[in-house]
């Protein structure tokens, strides 16, 4: 089975009044459809956001925005929501949104500034990467760790296995 990574050209601008779950679901579908390259191709499109108090934070635009996001998350819980969509020939084969609750430690301004200076927060929903240096700010999670990284593997793999059984081979 052959896999390719395709960056889909999709406008990620939120629609006014759109909930975080609706936004990532819409974008995952759009990315899956936009990436399709042929009649026998199954594509996986995904999108992730961080939601605080029901509002999507998105990715930081600059250092000040990243710092502000980190300080807003400081000492609080938020949700990481990732939607994925598997499609073929314009037809949705499977779609799901996965939510993980993340509890952050208190982050002081100096720690936020130092972390932003690493460059890691850029391109990351919520301005942190749990699998990187940003993981030190996470106190605990309730749900999928891989979801917080951006792809809920435990939910995606069974969908792929149902659709394309030969694509998933058992490991050790």
Q: Does the predicted TM-score (pTM) go above 0.85? A: yes
Task: Report DSSP state, residue 14.
Answer: P
Judge whether 3 lies within some domain. Answer: no
Judge whether 129 lies within some domain. Answer: yes
pLDDT at res. 48: 95
Q: Which domain holds residue 146?
A: 20-166
Instruction: Measure the CA angle with vertex 32, ends 156 and 47; round to 5°.
Output: 65
Residue in this structure with the two tokens 């679901």, named with its chain if needed: 25
pLDDT at res. 90: 84
pLDDT tens per residue across all 172 residues of the chain: 567 788 888 999 999 999 999 999 999 999 999 988 777 788 999 999 999 999 999 899 999 999 999 999 999 999 999 999 999 888 899 999 999 999 999 999 999 999 999 999 999 999 999 999 999 999 999 999 999 998 999 999 999 888 876 555 555 4
Judge whether 7 lies within some domain. Answer: no
Judge whether 151 lies within some domain. Answer: yes
Q: Report the candidate in 147, 146, 126, 26 with the shortest Cα–Cα distance to residue 82.
A: 147
pLDDT at res. 44: 93
Judge whether 6 lies within some domain. Answer: no
Buried-exposed string 116-128: b where 16+ CB fall within 10 A, e elsewhere: beeebbbebbbbb
> Residue 68: is it exposed, middle or buried by C-beta count within 10 angstroms (0-12/13-18/19+)?
middle
Residues involved in catalysis: 47
Judge whether 4 lies within some domain. Answer: no
Rounded CA-CA distance 58/121 in Å is 11
Residue in this structure with the two tokens 């996001």, named with its chain if needed: 69
What are the residue ranges of helices labelled H in the chain? 20-34, 63-73, 109-117, 145-149, 153-163
pLDDT at res. 4: 77
Q: Token digits for 66? A: 């990243």
Q: 26: domain CATH number?
A: 3.90.950.10
Q: How many separate domains does the chain show?
A: 1
Judge whether 11 lies within some domain. Answer: no
Judge whether 69 lies within some domain. Answer: yes
């Amino acid at each position: 089975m052959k896999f390719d990574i395709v960056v889909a050209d999709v406008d990620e601008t939120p629609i006014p009044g759109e909930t975080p779950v609706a936004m990532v679901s819409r974008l995952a579908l759009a990315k899956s459809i936009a990436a399709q390259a042929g009649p026998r191709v199954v594509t996986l499109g995904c999108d992730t956001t961080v939601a605080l108090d029901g509002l999507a934070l998105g990715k930081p635009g600059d250092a000040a925005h990243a710092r502000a996001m980190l300080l807003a998350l400081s000492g609080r819980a938020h949700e990481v929501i990732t939607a994925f969509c598997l499609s073929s020939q314009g037809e949705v084969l499977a779609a799901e949104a996965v939510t993980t609750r993340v509890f952050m430690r208190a982050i002081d301004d100096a720690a936020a500034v130092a972390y932003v200076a690493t460059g890691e927060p850029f391109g990351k929903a919520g301005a942190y990467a749990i699998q990187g240096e940003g993981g030190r700010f996470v106190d605990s999670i309730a749900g999928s760790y891989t979801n917080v990284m951006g792809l809920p593997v435990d939910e995606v793999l069974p969908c792929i296995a149902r659709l394309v059984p030969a694509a998933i081979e058992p490991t050790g």
